[in-house]
Structure 1
Amino acid sequence: MSSVIKPRDAKQLTLRFPCKQCGAVIKYAPGTDLLICQYCGTENRIEQRTGVIEEYDLKEALKRVTETRAEAAVPTIHCDECGAGFQFEAKIHAGECPFCGTPIVTATTEIKPIQPKSLLPFSIDEPAARQRFKRWIAGLWFAPNAVKKYARSDTKLTGVYLPYWTFDSDTVTAYSGERGDVYYVRQPVQVVKNNRVVTEMRDVPKIRWTPVSGQVRRFFDDVLVGASSSLPRKILDALQPWDLYALIPYDENYLSGFRSEYYQVELAEGFDHARQIMDDQIYRDICFDIGGDHQRIHHVETRHSRTTYKHCLLPVWSAAFRYKDKSYRFVINGRSGKVQGERPYSVWKITFAVLASLMLAAGIYYYLDKSGALQKMQENGMVIQQYPVEQPIRY
């Protein structure tokens, strides 16, 4: 089964969410299953959709994607509230009318061949997210004092559903390499005793290398890859973990009042990123399987089978602040409240910290010298030269 939907020739759909009481457009209230009318206050409950969150075959999807036609141009949207016509940014399919602020969600079928099938709704609202941001920016080490003012401001946050891929894959990896075991050899070593350099016999570590080969297996479940280009990948990755076990079937009601993006990282590229994440774990598995004190890995061959994917939307609060003509972006996990972002550093604060550390080290040295502790350390035999342990080589 595949979630790839071939584009239709039908007109682009614009979804509307009217209040059952007064007919006004309503917005989703984070942390609830309600759409709340901001005019009459009526709570409109979202009917829960049932069904299993399915995994889709990766090979079949990649084949179907190559068979579909090119993505359509961004359509013109008509706002039913004010009558204005406009276009969202090319990567956006849910947001607000720029003229009257009405929440608008468009269907994604006409633009992208793969549709989101699940999402995590926002669980923290904008005031709670702003408090998380204030605590985060107030706690930044070595941040310029001018930046701290943003912890006291009412920075406008934008709620965005970002596109993600998840991948499952059953892997079997054959490898060859070497196992390194440390042993000790008695050798002459130069040391300082009583302010004199003397030679003593000591145990010096060496490594004995033994050829090895073997096989490791691992099933990867829900390897998460951000499919948005709006933010650096390191920021997207740092927002983890996500409670993916709580994914619910895709429902446009949860998008009302929020922005939502199409995926910009294609499925094949997403799997390439996922495979890099898997390879890092497989490398650790191989090192554990080889055992010993050190490992060298010469050859690795991994076979993937039963590889599946999901396309889902995950919620973040996003904003930016400017400092010295540069914009710094930050995002807040819309489920856990975890904050990640870019930040400036104060050169003066870092310089002062380094100088303070040097002064502290000099003070400790002076105290040890005056107390005679340095002399005692030398008398106990401080090693000044010995044969180093062989360093492992990793491939």
Structure 2
Amino acid sequence: MSAVLKALNPKPPKTLQFPCEQCGAVLKYAPGTTHLLCEHCGTENVIAVSGGDIEEYDLRQALRQLAQSSTVSAAAPTIHCDECGAGFQFEAKNHAGECPFCGTPIVATTTQIKPIQPKSLLPFAIDETNARQRFQQWIAGLWFAPNAVKKYARSDTKLNGVYLPFWTFDSHTATTYVGERGDVYYVQERVQVVRNNRVVTETRQVPKIRWTPVSGRVQRFFDDVLVGASNSLPRKILDALQPWDLQALTPYNENYLSGFRSEYYQVELADGFDLARQVMDNQIYADICRDIGGDQQRIHQVDTHHNGTTYKHCLLPVWSSAFRYRDKPYRFVINGRTGKVQGERPYSVWKIAFAGLAALILAAGAYYYLEQSGALDTIQNTPITAQPYPYRQPLDYNAF
């Protein structure tokens, strides 16, 4: 069996704690650095740099081995804290966090729960103070947000640092297609219109489309198509946290997890690739449209083959929290590398209504001005000459 697929071990999981070399106190990773900081004596304990490249794993082989494996995900194991001697369980989706009795940072191995282990991660680059400032700027700049929510930006928001699981996929694709190319041309037609209260006949340029059957083949290599493997947040929020600097991925090292939570993947490998294929398909359809050319395109048949597909399982850092407004929770997250903020937010019905009313008043005022100045009659009596212009028809996904 592949090195990335390990049988579940019936023994208790190995737990890691990180004592200070100077005083023995428990260490936490300091975001944006390569060391663990001792909050007791201030000593910086350097994290040993792991060598080697970030490896890609063959997707087909992994899926075949997963299908043949008799292992299943186990229940959350009991964790033992060496600092206070307590026994406890992390939340089912987590494998790193703090002891609930003494607050000691603990990282547990993941082989007890999942057959695929994380092999790389991006360490936190911004600390909690910086992340809180980014959140305050974001929530203060929200349009049509209730004033009570704006005040929340000035509060001392507690943020949780979490490493979320992700899949990345590389794939060579070759796609054949059958469709039609639409080219716009113009013909002259005589039409009757009303000008100055009189019916007159005018000649206009009317667009027509000439459709031509086409077929062809496009190829594309996809590199690091990213798919969130956590169900803790809506997918639209996870996707909106991009881009990530995946070129900076470092080999998995538990030291970077000390003081933070870390989740197991909850989206299985096969399901993750299904989501990645949706991203790839959207790009392939755009490639087909460019290949067909013309002003409009119709795509009737698409057949895509994936070759040499590989994957990685990595952990990416986010700061997360939530606030309540009128008894409803709103979640938000901050990219732990770039500081980009995404989340859910409420809207003020009154602010939206007043904005709509103001827009109507402004439009009525503009109409009144044009009417009084005579500009409205000038606009209405000006002949309109049709000009050729390229435009594209939206893809009809129901045709595939």
Q: Please tell me the TM-score bracket, short chain as reference.
A: over 0.9
Taking a change above 3 Å as real, the CA distance of residues 392 and 37 of structure 1, as seen in their structure-2 partners, is: closer
Q: Distance in 1 between matches of 2:263 and 2:192?
A: 66
Deviations 1:49-105 (A, max 9, x none): 011000000011111222141112211111111221110111000001111111010
Partner of 1:249: 251
Equivalent of 1:328 in 311, 327, 330: 330
Partner of 2:353: 351
Indicate yes or no: 2:305 matched with 1:267.
Answer: no
Q: Does the 8 Å CA contact 1:19/1:44 hold for their aligned counterparts?
A: yes
Taking a change above 3 Å as real, the CA distance of residues 376 and 123 of structure 1, as seen in their structure-2 partners, is: same
Deviation at 1:391, TM superposition (A): 6.6
Deviation at 1:191, TM superposition (A): 3.1
Matched letter for residue 120 of structure 1: L
Q: Distance in 2 between matches of 1:86 and 1:189?
A: 82
Partner of 1:95: 97
SS at match of 2:208: strand
Deviation at 1:390, TM superposition (A): 11
Q: Distance in 2 between matches of 1:390 and 1:336?
A: 35
TM-score using structure 1 length: 0.96
Aligned pairs (5 A) from 1:99-110: 99-110=101-112
Q: Distance in 2 between matches of 1:390 and 1:33?
A: 50
CA RMSD between the two structures: 1.5
Equivalent of 1:239 in 238, 241, 248: 241
SS at match of 1:9: coil
Partner of 2:113: 111
Deviates more, 1:7-16 or 1:247-256: 7-16
Q: Does the 8 Å CA contact 2:297/2:392 hold for their aligned counterparts?
A: no
Partner of 1:26: 27
Unaligned runs of 5+ in 2: 386-390
Q: Does the 8 Å CA contact 2:297/2:393 hold for their aligned counterparts?
A: no
Deviates more, 1:283-292 or 1:6-15: 6-15
Aligned pairs (5 A) from 1:363-382: 363-381=365-383
Q: Distance in 2 between matches of 1:390 and 1:271?
A: 30
Matched letter for residue 109 of structure 1: T
Q: Distance in 1 between matches of 2:339 and 2:161?
A: 13
Q: Distance in 2 between matches of 1:334 and 1:200?
A: 63
Partner of 1:85: 87
SS at match of 1:152: coil
Partner of 1:152: 154
Aligned pairs (5 A) from 1:1-395: 3-66=4-67, 67-381=69-383, 394=396, 395=399
Unaligned runs of 5+ in 1: 384-388
SS at match of 2:183: strand
Q: Does the 8 Å CA contact 1:195/1:378 hold for their aligned counterparts?
A: no
Partner of 1:386: none
Q: Does the 8 Å CA contact 1:33/1:46 hold for their aligned counterparts?
A: yes
Taking a change above 3 Å as real, the CA distance of residues 189 and 391 of structure 1, as seen in their structure-2 partners, is: farther
Taking a change above 3 Å as real, the CA distance of residues 390 and 254 of structure 1, as seen in their structure-2 partners, is: closer
Q: Distance in 2 between matches of 1:319 and 1:366?
A: 50
Q: Does the 8 Å CA contact 1:192/1:382 hold for their aligned counterparts?
A: no
SS at match of 2:211: strand
Deviation at 1:106, TM superposition (A): 0.1
Q: Does the 8 Å CA contact 1:119/1:313 hold for their aligned counterparts?
A: yes
Deviates more, 1:141-150 or 1:71-80: 71-80
Matched letter for residue 349 of structure 1: K
Q: Distance in 1 between matches of 2:125 and 2:342?
A: 18
Taking a change above 3 Å as real, the CA distance of residues 135 and 331 of structure 1, as seen in their structure-2 partners, is: same
Q: Distance in 1 between matches of 2:66 and 2:392?
A: 51
Moved over 6 A (4+): 389-393
Q: Distance in 1 between matches of 2:70 and 2:117?
A: 14
Deviations 1:206-265 (A, max 9, x none): 100000000000000000000000000000000000000000000000000000000000
How many residue pairs end up in the alignment? 390
Deviations 1:292-346 (A, max 9, x none): 0000000000000000000000000000000000000000000000000000000
Matched letter for residue 275 of structure 1: R
Deviations 1:152-180 (A, max 9, x none): 01110000000000000000000000000
Deviation at 1:198, TM superposition (A): 2.5
Q: Distance in 2 between matches of 1:84 and 1:393?
A: 59
Q: Does the 8 Å CA contact 1:191/1:382 hold for their aligned counterparts?
A: no
Q: Distance in 2 between matches of 1:74 and 1:32?
A: 31
SS at match of 1:288: helix
Q: Does the 8 Å CA contact 1:138/1:151 hold for their aligned counterparts?
A: yes
Q: Does the 8 Å CA contact 1:188/1:202 hold for their aligned counterparts?
A: yes
Q: Distance in 2 between matches of 1:19 and 1:163?
A: 28
Deviation at 1:2, TM superposition (A): 5.1
Matched letter for residue 313 of structure 2: H
Matched letter for residue 255 of structure 2: N
